[in-house]
Amino acid sequence: MFFPDARLTKRWPARRADVVAVLRGGGRLVCAVRRDGRCDVRLRRAEACLSPRAEEYETCRALFLLLRETTGLCPPWGMLTGVRPVRFVRELRLARAREHPGEPPEALGEYLREKYFVSEEKYRLAARTADNQAAALACGTPRSYSLYISIPFCPSRCSYCSFVSRTTAQSGRLIEPYLEALRRELAGISALARRNRLRLETIYIGGGTPTAISAGQLRTLMQTVRDSFDVPAVREYTVEAGRPDCTTPEKLAVLKEYGATRVSINPQTLSDEVLAAIGRRHTARDVLDCFAEARRQGHGNINMDLIAGLPKDTPEGFLRTLRGVLALGPENITVHTLTLKRASNLVIERASPEYGDAARMLSSCALLGESGYEPYYLYRQKGTLQNLENTGYTKPGFAGLYNIFIMEEVHTILSAGAGGSTKLVGPDGAIRRIFNYKYPSEYIERFDTVQARKQGVDEFYAKYDDLDPQAAR
C-alpha cells in the first residue's frame, strides 16, 4: 500500500537499505521503517493466546498505523486489501444483523472506520453497490451458470494491457484454427451443461477484442453459440466491441442479428494525446462515430470503459472525457483506475512512473450520480494507483449481470478459449477452478488436454446430485 515497488523477503537487507520490518516474538511486537537513513520504530507488548487471525490483525494494525504516520499517506480503503470489498460489506451486514439485531445501518460504517480505517466515502460506495446488486443476486439457482468466451486478438496492444492477447498483424494466421478449436469447445461445454442440468444466465464474449476478427468469422462464432445454447432464454448477452478501429457497421449488425443484448465500446479516454500514448490506433472522433453507428444498428444497452490515471492524462482531462461520455448517454459507464501489471508494457518497458492524480480523477465520478447513474459492481486489484478501485455505474435497469456474477462468485462461470478460467461454484460455497492454456498456440496444439480437463465439471457436480432437478429449469 505504502511502497508499491517493495519486495517481500525474510532475509535481513543490506545495512543502509530502505526497509519495512515486522518482528514478533518473546512477547513483543516490533514494527520499524528505515527510509533515507531515518529509522522509526514502534514497540508494543504482544497479546498472549490470540488466534492466528487475531494475531495477524494486531500485527497489520500496528504496521499500518506506523506507515501512515511516517509517510503521511492515508489509503482510502484503510487496511483492506481484498479484491471484493462489496462482498465483505455484505457478509459483515449479515453477521452484525445476527450479533446486533436492531443496529442502525450507519453503525457498520463506524465499525469499518474504527477497525479497518476505511474512509466514509469508500464505505458508502461499497454499501451503495451492495444495495444495487441485491435484485440481481436474488434470482439465481444452485445450478445457474454463465458462459465466458475468449477472443485473444487485438488490432494493437495497449501499453497498460496484461491480458493474454495477440495482435492480428502478428498472429493472424492463428485466428482460423483458434476459432475452429473454440467452436469445438463450445459444443463440449453445451453438452456438459445439459448433462449437469445447469441453467445458463448470461453470455460474455471478451478478449482481447472480439471484433478484431472478421465479420464472417464473428458470424460463424455467434452461429455456433446460437446452435449450442438457448440464446433467447439468457438474461444478458454481452460482446466487447471495445476498439473502434476494428468495429465496423457490418460487425455491429452481426452482433445485433445473433442476439447480443449488450455491447461495450471502450474509449478509455477521449484525449487523442493520451490515446496515442497508450498505443491506441484511433482517435476520439472514431469512438464517437462507432457509438453513433451502434445506436443506428439498434443497440440499446452500451457500456463504455474509462481509465483514470493513464500516462499523459490529468484530472482536468479526465473530467473532459467523463463529460464527453455522459453526453452520449450510454447505459453503463465503467471507471477503472490504472493498474500497473507485470505483463504490461508500462511495467516491462519501465515507463515513467509519472501518472496523474487518480484520486482526483475519481472524485469527478460524482457527476455520474448527478446524471442518474448508480454503482452496481466494484473490485480492487494489486498494483492499482493509489490503492483505488474499479467501479461499474449503470442507469436504472441496465446493470451488467455477468460483471456482478463473476465478481461476487455467486455461480459457476464456464470459460472457453485461450486464457479461460472456469470457476465452479457449488451451492455450499465450494469453489474449484479449471484453467485453459494461456496462449492461442498452446490452446490449439493441446486442445485434447483442454477438453479432458473440462471433465472436471462432471466430477464437481456429481457431489450435488441430490439437488432438486427443478432448480435447473
Q: What is the pLDDT of residue 195?
A: 96
pLDDT bracket for residue 383 (50, 70, 90): confident
Q: What is the pLDDT of residue 166?
A: 62
Q: What is the pLDDT of residue 425?
A: 96
Q: Which of 165, 254, 190 is nearest to 217 (CA)?
A: 254
Calculate the alpha carbon distances from 185 to 99, 146, 332, 435 in Å.
47, 15, 31, 13
Residues facing 412 on adjacent strands = 145
Structure-block grid coordinates of residue 409 = 462468485
CA-to-CA distance for 246 and 252, rounded, in angstroms?
Answer: 10
Alpha helices in 204-340 (DSSP H): 215-228, 249-257, 272-277, 284-296, 315-328
CA-to-CA distance for 251 and 267, rounded, in angstroms?
Answer: 18
Write down the number of H helices and E strands in the chain: 18, 16
- Is residue 182 helix, strand or coil? helix
Q: Edge-to-edge strand order for the sheet containing 19-25? A: 19-25, 28-35, 38-45
Q: What is the pLDDT of residue 280?
A: 85
Q: Which of 375, 398, 392 is nearest to 304 (CA)?
A: 392
Q: Which of 86, 96, 163, 149 is nearest to 118 (CA)?
A: 86
- Phi first, then psi, for residue 305 (nearest 5°) are -95, 140
Residue 74 has pLDDT above 60, yes or no: yes
Identity at 78, one-letter amino acid code:
G
Please give the model's pTM, rounded to 2 decimal places: 0.92
89-117: per-residue pLDDT in tens?
999 999 999 999 999 988 999 999 999 99
Residue with the bigger pLDDT between 71 and 140: it is 71
Residue 372 has pLDDT above 80, yes or no: yes
> How many Cβ atoms from other residues are within 10 Å of residue 250's Cβ?
13
CA-to-CA distance for 433 and 393, rounded, in angstroms?
Answer: 29
Q: What is the pLDDT of residue 473?
A: 40
Sign of torsion over alpha carbons 102, 88, 126, 327 = negative
Residue 430 has pLDDT above 80, yes or no: yes
Residue 422 has pLDDT above 60, yes or no: yes
Residue 469 has pLDDT above 60, yes or no: no
> DSSP labels for 45-75?
EPPTT--HHHHHHHHHHHHHHHHHHHH----
CA-to-CA distance for 428 and 69, rounded, in angstroms?
Answer: 43
Q: What is the mean pLDDT of the chain?
A: 92
Calculate the alpha carbon distances from 225 to 71, 187, 299, 306 in Å.
53, 8, 19, 29
Residue 120 gets which letter from DSSP?
A: H
161-217: per-residue pLDDT in tens?
666 556 776 778 999 999 999 999 999 999 999 999 999 999 999 988 999 999 999
- Is residue 114 helix, strand or coil? helix
- Phi first, then psi, for residue 361 (nearest 5°) are -65, -45
Residue 471 has pLDDT above 50, yes or no: no
Q: Out of 3.40.30.10, 1.10.530.10, 2.60.40.60, 3.80.30.20, which CATH number does the structure's domain 137-460 have? A: 3.80.30.20
Q: What is the pLDDT of residue 130?
A: 97
- Are the CB atoms for 66 and 33 separated by under 8 Å? yes
